[in-house]
């Protein structure tokens, strides 16, 4: 094992220990402070080790923490594209998320709260916040940096994928989220990818949706 790898694990273990073994400071305001991860120190250390190893992987290109998830989703979409199964892919995504979408629909029908639609459809899904590190949030509106280009540049060069970033955005953001919105019963506006790589999504009353284009 390389010394750098050993150092990474050592750093991860130290970080985990410092987070999980919080001590009372003497200040009553902070007495008994905890991290919420007590009992999971080893798991946290392993997770931090993966983070450090991933960020250290820069021989071919600088890997980001979502690298494996991006590649897996790209390969899933490429498989569907090659076999003319994009509609099947979207239908499968909807079926998989059906229990959550039905709960969001019930809440929306009861309250008309479009912001909670966005919270349920985007914020609380781990696949979003593990894929997108920073999301701008406004009432019934979310925006983020498209995450695909770094990996696509490499995989298209190697012949692993022939999808364009616009195709991926259309499948994974526009079509997939629109299908979710249809189940919930709201309208959805989705922007194309901007010149700066930014995209936005807005939930609206169904009869007000313009598609964002």
Contact criterion met (CB below 8 Å) for 213 and 200 = no
12-50 pLDDT tens trace = 555 555 555 445 445 555 455 677 888 888 888 888 888
141 contact partners, CB below 8 Å, separation of at least 6: 118, 200, 201, 202, 203
103-140 pLDDT tens trace = 999 999 999 999 999 999 999 888 898 899 999 999 99
Global confidence as pTM: 0.78
Tokens 């750093």 -> residue: 11
104 contact partners, CB below 8 Å, separation of at least 6: 116, 117, 120, 121, 184
The token duo for 105 is 């629909």
81-100 pLDDT tens trace = 999 999 999 999 999 999 99
166 contact partners, CB below 8 Å, separation of at least 6: 192, 193
CB atoms within 10 A of CB 86: 15
Is residue 55's pLDDT more than 80? no
Closest CA to 128 of 177, 79, 166: 177
């Amino acid at each position: 094992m390389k010394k750098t790898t050993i150092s990474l694990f050592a750093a991860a273990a130290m970080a985990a220990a410092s987070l999980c073994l919080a001590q009372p400071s003497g200040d009553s305001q902070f007495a008994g402070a905890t991290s919420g991860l007590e009992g999971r120190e080893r798991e946290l250390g392993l997770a931090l080790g993966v983070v450090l190893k991933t960020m250290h992987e820069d021989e071919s290109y600088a890997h980001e923490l979502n690298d494996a998830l991006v590649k897996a989703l790209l390969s899933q979409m490429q498989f569907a594209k090659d076999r003319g199964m994009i509609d099947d892919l979207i239908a499968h995504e909807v079926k998989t998320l059906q229990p959550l979408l039905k709960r969001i629909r019930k809440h929306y029908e009861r309250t008309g709260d479009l912001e909670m639609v966005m919270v349920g459809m985007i914020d609380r899904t781990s696949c979003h916040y593990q894929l997108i590190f920073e999301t701008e949030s406004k009432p019934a509106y979310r925006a983020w940096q498209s995450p695909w280009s770094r990996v696509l540049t490499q995989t298209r060069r190697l012949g692993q994928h022939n999808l364009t970033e616009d195709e991926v955005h259309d499948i994974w953001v526009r079509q997939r989220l629109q299908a979710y919105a249809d189940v919930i019963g709201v309208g959805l506006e989705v922007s194309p990818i901007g010149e700066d790589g930014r995209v936005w999504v807005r939930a609206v009353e169904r009869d007000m949706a313009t598609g964002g284009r």
